[in-house]
Amino acid sequence: MPNKIRTYVALSLTAALLATACSGGEEQENQSVESDDTLNIAFFADMATADPDIFYDIEGLAVMQSVYEGLLRYAPGGTEIEGELAESWEVSEDGLTFTFTLKDDLTYADGTPLDSEAIQASFERRTAVEQGPSYMLAGVDSYETPDPQTFVVNLKDPDVAFLHYLASAWSPKAINPTVLEENSADLAQKYLDTQSAGSGPYVIDEFTRGTGYTLTRNDNYWGEEPHFSTVEVAITPDVSSQILALERGDLELIPHGFPLANLPNVESNDDLALEQFPSLGTTSLYLNHNKESLADAGTREALIRALDITSLVEEVYGETAEVPSNAYPSGLLDPSLAPVDYAPGDSSDLSGQGITLDIVYTPDSSGVQRRLADLMRQRLAAVGVDATPRQAQLAEVFGYRDDVANAADIYVSTPAPDGAHPDTWGRIVWYTVGPLNFFNYSNPEVDAALDRGLVEVDPEAAAEDYAEAGELATADWSVVPIAYVSDVVVAQADLNGVEHVPAYPWTVDLAALSR
Amino acid sequence: MARFLLVRAFGAVGVLLALVTVVFLLQTAVPGDPVRASVGVNASDEVVEAERERLGLDEPLPVQYATYLGQVVRGGFGESLRTGRDVRDDIGAFLPATLELAGFSMLLAVVGGLLIGVLAVVSSRFATPARLLFVGGASVPSFLLALIFIYIFYFKLSWLPLSGRTSVADAPEAPTGLLLLDSLLHARPDVFLDALRHLILPGLALALVPAVAIGRVLRSSLIEVYRSDYIRTLHAKGLPPRSVLFRHALRNALSAPLTMAGLQLGLLLGGVVIVEAIFAWPGIGLYLNQSIAFSDLRAIAGVTLVVGAGYVIVNTLVDLAQAAADPRIRL
Q: What is the pLDDT of residue A261?
A: 86
Instruction: Give domain status of residue B284, yes or no.
Output: yes
Instruction: Give domain status of residue B36, yes or no.
Output: no
Instruction: Give domain status of residue B266, yes or no.
Output: yes
d(CA A486, CA A323): 11
Instruction: Give domain status of residue B21, yes or no.
Output: no
**CB < 8 Å to B50, chain A:** 130
**CB < 8 Å to B160, chain A:** 22, 25
The minimum CA-CA distance between A399 and chain B, rounded to whole Å, is 4
Contacts of residue B3, Cβ cutoff 8 Å, sequence gap at least 6: none
Which of A246-255, A413-422, B253-262 comes out lowest in average pLDDT?
B253-262
**How sure is the predictor about A27, in pLDDT bands with cuts at 50, 70 and 90?**
very low
Higher-pLDDT residue of A448, A345: A448
**How sure is the predictor about A18, in pLDDT bands with cuts at 50, 70 and 90?**
low
Nearest CA in chain B to A129: B47
- A210 and B93 within 8 Å at the Cβ level: the answer is yes
d(CA A116, CA A96): 19
**CB < 8 Å to A25, chain B:** 158-161, 197
The minimum CA-CA distance between A138 and chain B, rounded to whole Å, is 10
Contacts of residue A100, Cβ cutoff 8 Å, sequence gap at least 6: A71, A86, A88, A89, A119, A150, A151, A152, A153
ipTM > 0.85 for the complex: no
By Cβ distance, the residue of A21, A131, A399 closest to B31 is A399
- B159 and A22 within 8 Å at the Cβ level: the answer is yes
- B154 and A396 within 8 Å at the Cβ level: the answer is no
Q: What is the pLDDT of residue A15?
A: 55
Residue B172 contacts A where some CB pair is shorter than 8 Å? no
**CB < 8 Å to B291, chain A:** none
The minimum CA-CA distance between A300 and chain B, rounded to whole Å, is 25
**CB < 8 Å to B169, chain A:** 32, 214
Q: What is the pLDDT of residue A33?
A: 41
Q: What is the pLDDT of residue A7?
A: 54
- B37 and A398 within 8 Å at the Cβ level: the answer is yes
Instruction: Give domain status of residue B28, yes or no.
Output: no
- B47 and A193 within 8 Å at the Cβ level: the answer is no
Average model confidence (pLDDT) across chain B: 85
**CB < 8 Å to B47, chain A:** 130-132, 134-135
- B31 and A20 within 8 Å at the Cβ level: the answer is no
* Interval B128-170: pLDDT, tens: 887 788 777 777 888 888 999 999 999 999 899 988 898 888 8
Q: What is the mean pLDDT of residues B168-177?
A: 85
Instruction: Give domain status of residue B315, yes or no.
Output: no
Residue B164 contacts A where some CB pair is shorter than 8 Å? yes
Q: How many domains does chain B have?
A: 1
Contact A379, A308 (CB under 8 A): yes
- A210 and B287 within 8 Å at the Cβ level: the answer is yes
* Interval B42-72: pLDDT, tens: 777 888 888 888 888 888 888 888 888 888 8
**CB < 8 Å to A21, chain B:** 193, 196-197, 200
Domain extent at residue B247: 95-292
Average model confidence (pLDDT) across chain A: 91
- B280 and A234 within 8 Å at the Cβ level: the answer is yes
Q: What is the pLDDT of residue A227?
A: 95
- B84 and A193 within 8 Å at the Cβ level: the answer is yes
**CB < 8 Å to B83, chain A:** 46, 48-49, 209
**CB < 8 Å to A207, chain B:** none
**CB < 8 Å to A395, chain B:** 30, 32-34, 36-37, 294-295
Query: Model's pTM, two decimal places?
Result: 0.84
Residue B169 contacts A where some CB pair is shorter than 8 Å? yes
Inform me whether the pLDDT recorded for A35 exceeds 70: no
Which of A132-146, A300-314, B13-27, B212-226 comes out lowest in average pLDDT?
B13-27
- A31 and B196 within 8 Å at the Cβ level: the answer is no
Query: β-pairing, A410-413 with A356-361?
Result: parallel
Inform me whether the pLDDT recorded for A267 exceeds 60: yes
- B43 and A247 within 8 Å at the Cβ level: the answer is no
The minimum CA-CA distance between B41 and chain A, rounded to whole Å, is 7
Which of B55, B157, B162 best probes binding to A when mutated, by most A CB atoms within 10 angstroms? B162
Q: What's chain B look like in SS3?
A: CHHHHHHHHHHHHHHHHHHHHHHHHHHHHCCCCHHHHHHCCCCCHHHHHHHHHHCCCCCCHHHHHHHHHHHHHCCCCCECCCCCCEHHHHHHHHHHHHHHHHHHHHHHHHHHHHHHHHHHHHCHHHHHHHHHHHHHHHHCCHHHHHHHHHHHHHHHCCCCCCCCCCCCCCCCCCCCCCHHHHHHHCCCHHHHHHHHHHHHHHHHHHHHHHHHHHHHHHHHHHHHHHCCHHHHHHHHCCCCHHHHHHHHHHHHHCHHHHHHHHHHHHHHHHHHHHHHHHCCCCCHHHHHHHHHHCCCHHHHHHHHHHHHHHHHHHHHHHHHHHHHHCCCCCC
Instruction: Report the Cα–Cα distance between both ends of chain B, in Å, rounded.
Output: 6
Q: What is the mean pLDDT of residues B294-305?
A: 85
Task: Please report, for the domain that includes residue B115, its CATH number.
Answer: 1.10.3720.10
Nearest CA in chain A to B44: A135
Inform me whether the pLDDT recorded for A29 exceeds 50: no
Instruction: Give domain status of residue B308, yes or no.
Output: no
Instruction: Give domain status of residue B318, yes or no.
Output: no
A–B interface: beta-carbon pairs under 8 A = 189
Which of A384-398, B29-43, B132-146, B293-307 comes out lowest in average pLDDT?
B29-43
- A209 and B34 within 8 Å at the Cβ level: the answer is no
